[in-house]
Structure 1
Amino acid sequence: MSHAAPQPRRIDAQGPLTGTVAVPGDKSISHRSLMLSALAVGESRIEGLLEGEDVLATAAAMRAMGATIDRGDDGVWRVSGVGVGGLLQPAGALDMGNSGTSTRLLMGLVASHPITATFTGDASLSGRPMGRVIEPLARMGADITASPGGRLPLMLRGLTPAVPIEYTLPVASAQVKSAILLAGLNTPGITRVIEPVATRDHSERMLAGFGANLTVTPSPAGRIIEIHGEAELKPQSITVPGDPSSAAFWLVAASVVPGSDIVVTNVGLNPTRTGLIAALRLMGADIEEVDARTVGGEPVADLRVRHAALTAIDVPAEIAPSMIDEYPVLFVAAAFAAGRTTARGAHELRVKESDRIATMATALAACGVQVEEHEDGLSIDGTGGDAIPGGATIASKLDHRIAMSMTVAGLHAVRPVTIDDIGPVATSYPGFYASLDRLIAGPA
């Protein structure tokens, strides 16, 4: 799943964004829906699945371990699962492409099955440390041989029966939490995760929906999540809501480009994912929730966003876990706000597809924005709504969110901004640039 030759794209400021846009299905929910459907006994149906490269990597891996996964002409995915404990030995290495979520969660699944899997990935993923997942899974009995620095390629030999553990997350990470819970599915007894800082809870919601015996209890130490092992999962019909992380680019673009007025439809508003909306509203963004509803156990609404004058804020650190993937585009919003915005509490950004703190600091500075880099975030002096100077070629570092965030920045720049390679955008949002062209053109 390596990318072909770089695909540069020049971004010119072309006036307001208007019209309606639908974003792809939520990436986090898409991954989990495939994995849990593959562990259920019977056929599950998934509508609205994100068909980006990351999620397709998960589908390919689950097929390699015995699940039957097909996409119908109606766009509905049908998955016939093997049952918890039924994963088969894959014939070859599992190529995870650029997907850290696929890798970490699938490591959890394999850890409590009597199989061996080798995980590989592209250059970006192979640079990302897996130690935070290796440590708890090794405590459960998995034998893991990683490349230097705890990186891919990595070979994991699962253990059955695995050992239930109690594990307090040292960093706020939904991926680590989910990997342990997924390992706990096929582990006798109770596996317990203590989460001092709440992270996105899609795994808990979906595990419970599939019939796992799972409880979440608040405590002074944080959320205590317990899963009873040797579960029997029941097939489900799942409708995946629109990905708030993909919607984020349109929320910021419409907020900063003068004259913009758009509606982003069917956006998932799980409270563990709405930190960016909260931050933008603190800055003065005009974001209206329309037709709020519940779809598949997840809150959903259409979001109308109109251009607004943004004011700098100190981003509350406690909302960092609910917007960790949205920090790059929040940095872009800050570049157009009045005053100095400081966004910290985001150490996790250092180990994403790229070092998103350093990469965004370099990219914004190249476009004439005043930036101060911190260990855990950035301080940014905004323009007060004026266009940024622009005129730079941005190194996206094989990171889809850097490419899309700096595309948004280029929509209100004096000189064109060129993204060196938009190929990685296909990992999460294959139709992003087509949607951008439609919003620039406006309603027919």
Structure 2
Amino acid sequence: MFENLSDRLERSFQLLKGQGKITEINVAETLKDIRRALLDADVNFKIAKTFTDDVKEKALGQNVLTSVKPGQLMVKIVKDELAELMGGTSADIDLTGSPSIILMAGLQGSGKTTFSGKLANLLKRKKGRHPLLVAGDVYRPAAIDQLKVLGEQIGVPVYTEEGNMDPVKIAQSAIKEAKRQGHDVVIIDTAGRLAVDEQMMKEISAIKKAVNPNEILFVVDSMTGQDAVNTAKEFNDRLDFNGVVLTKLDGDTRGGAALSIRSVVTKPIKFVGTGEKLDAIDVFHPTRMADRILGMGDIVSLVEKAQEQYDEEEARRLQKKLAKNTFNFNDFLKQINQIKKMGDLKDVVSMIPGMGKAVKNMDLDDDAFKHIEAIIYSMTPAEREDPALINGSRRKRIATGSGTNIQEVNRLLKQFAETRKMMKMVSQGKNIQRMMGGMKQPGRRR
């Protein structure tokens, strides 16, 4: 996500490296490179020009402190302007009313149906809501079946009417059903086309008029770049929607849609889809996204993802085990599963400040844990409980059973011992820096 743009912007800032102060000449050179980077990311030309003009005005108007280098100041200004370009602050959805009604709009293939399931899952898990999904795409039978499958996976009912080809009546009946069954949110999936056409616009406008939704969310595939922005404008002119949802932001996207769409339609980006799993949905935070584009990580989102998997009772149990130095491989497996639940591993690691560039070319996914899990699962219950039991012959058996070799088993056992030692010292509040200095670094000799 935004990898090419991040690299280009980093190179642009290098132009100010070694400069003693900001001048009109070095700012102009840097901004010329930034404008090219934005255009390569498929940002609209006028928006890219306005952006760099605003950055120039702010940069030349700054009284630079002696402790702040020109390059650092430019990064700060660009970050603030990027956040502002994407909306400045996050925007909530309107969940007032009983039930609150959310209408999905967008082209076919944009990810409306999948996102409807993700949003229902999010509202159920995090907001304690009781949503009802409505299959309003009567032209594509697969859409109805897909929504039913999604609903079953997340435990949310799906309202359908076999044989009824009138999406307006389906939506109206679904709302009546929601009131009868006590559902407090109704999410209506609608039909899309491969391109904007009059029939589709009339149909969704009729649904809007009939149900008076709290929210109309325009779902757009971020990988379509500037075309996504143009489509959003056409929909907004007809529907006056409340917010934008960017899907497939985990793909090989240049980022132009995320950076341009707010300026064109003057509506906030409310959510982003970051993967195929039903929990791969995030509230869009412009400031955090700006941080990530500039390689600064996103520690706030990382902490929030960790808190979602946090179990107080499990944490207390783990604390006691750490203090007694009885942390074992069963506990280690639980920690691995918690990390995997946080989402795409590469995306999670890139949220750590300074790590985005380090993991750029690494193949990080859930498979990264497979060889570790294979080794642990090849241990007996007693060995997992007490790693000290694992002698030479047991290591050979574990290596054979896991399809690895003795060196890999030895490496895991050594890393586990060092991790347990470090975690015990953390739990006891000891000097971590001193302890780290005495530890052997992986792959190095003392």
Q: Would you call these one fold, judging by a TM-score over 0.5?
A: no
Which structure is larger by alpha-carbon Rg, 1 or 2? 2
Normalised by the length of structure 2, the TM-score is: 0.23
More strand by share: 1
TM-score, with structure 1 as normaliser: 0.23
Q: Which structure has more helix as a fraction of its residues?
A: 2
